[in-house]
Amino acid sequence: MSRADRARRIAAAAAFGGGGIGAVGAAAYGLLLTEVQIARKVIGQPFGSAGPGGEGRYGDFPGEPVQLVMLGDSTSVGLGADHGHQTPGAVISAGLAQIARRPVEMRMFGRVGGQSWELEEQTVRALGEGARPDVVVIMVGANDVTHRVKPQVAVRALEASVRRLRDAGVQVVVGTCPDLGTIQEIPRPLRYIAQRLSRQLAAAQTIATVEAGGATVSLADLLAGEFRNHRVDMFASDRFHPSPTGYARVADVILPSVAAALGYLPGERDRVPDYRRGEGIDDIAHAAVRAVDTAGTEVSGIEVSGAERGPRGRWAAFRRRRAPRTGDGSVVAATGEASQNP
């Protein structure tokens, strides 16, 4: 069975029920969970059970603020960052304010240790507490893998939240499950299993999110490449969560998709994929697999010859969003500050 077929099967099980943990097997899955728990006990929890904060207004600009909400797990609240302004939500907000030339009000409803089934409550809070969000960024999946949540259950919960948000007129961008194969405290060959499970979930998350009207950004290859090769810089001291540098890199690839979803990158939202840049159009399952293999790839729905679906299902475009720029043409860096470098 191909990776695309496997991802499609998980997404179908999420929609219609059935399915299991797939080709890995319960014994290997249970052993992986045990190893992760042992590693966590050895390392401990140096950051406690809450993120560093960071909610508030970003950007010294006039006008009504753009409302941005973060949902998901510990990465959505920036566990491992030293200060609130280093969390991914804060970095995305600061960059978005520079692009939109408007302030951005950022709130977080994610939870350290959060799993996809908790998105329902987080979504209710996002829609019911305070101003209605203009855009929601969801970062979730790692705890579903390490806590043996059936992939179809996790994907079903994510799809329900994305659909509810879209029905309320909210733009949604999902940062898919990171590659847990980068956690070197998990011994081989279990590390390979962790990699396979997390990438499998990321592809299924992509299918479900696009079917529900949202967009995804692949984080799996980003963590597998840059985080493996630059562990000291990219990981926090607990060796599980990103460092401020790691979060800045994550925010750097999500920001263009958030800006495009809100219409702040004219010409980028519906830009025809550029095949010379490794972009393209395919059925959603194959587009999802392509995205998992290439860091920072956005996947969103598209019509082909006026039709949303083809012989193999929903059409999807996979794009490498261009670095956003401010009004004077300068590039917005991951810190949210304008850089004069092209």
Pairing of strands 215-217, 171-175: parallel
Query: In this structure, what token pair is assigned to residue 68?
Result: 């941005």
The answer to whether residue 147 is catalytic is no
Catalytic entry in 230, 238, 330, 339 = 238
Query: In this structure, what token pair is assigned to residue 254?
Result: 């999500």
The distance of Cα 296 from the centroid of its chain, to the nearest Å, equals: 10
Only one residue has tokens 């956690």, namely: 183
Answer whether 283's CB lies under 8 Å from 314's CB: yes
Three-state SS for 55?
coil
The answer to whether residue 74 is catalytic is yes
For 37, residues 6+ apart whose C-beta sits below 8 A from its C-beta are none
Catalytic entry in 74, 93, 116, 300 = 74
Only one residue has tokens 């809070």, namely: 125
First to last CA, the chain: 43
Catalytic entry in 73, 161, 179, 241 = 241
Give the largest Cα separation in the chain, rounded: 57
Alpha helices per DSSP H over 303-342: none
Answer whether 73's CB lies under 8 Å from 112's CB: yes
For 276, residues 6+ apart whose C-beta sits below 8 A from its C-beta are none
Calpha distance 333→339 (Å, rounded): 6
HSE on the CB side for 141, CA within 13 Å?
A: 30
Answer whether 87's CB lies under 8 Å from 54's CB: yes
The answer to whether residue 238 is catalytic is yes
As annotated, the active-site residues are 74, 238, 241
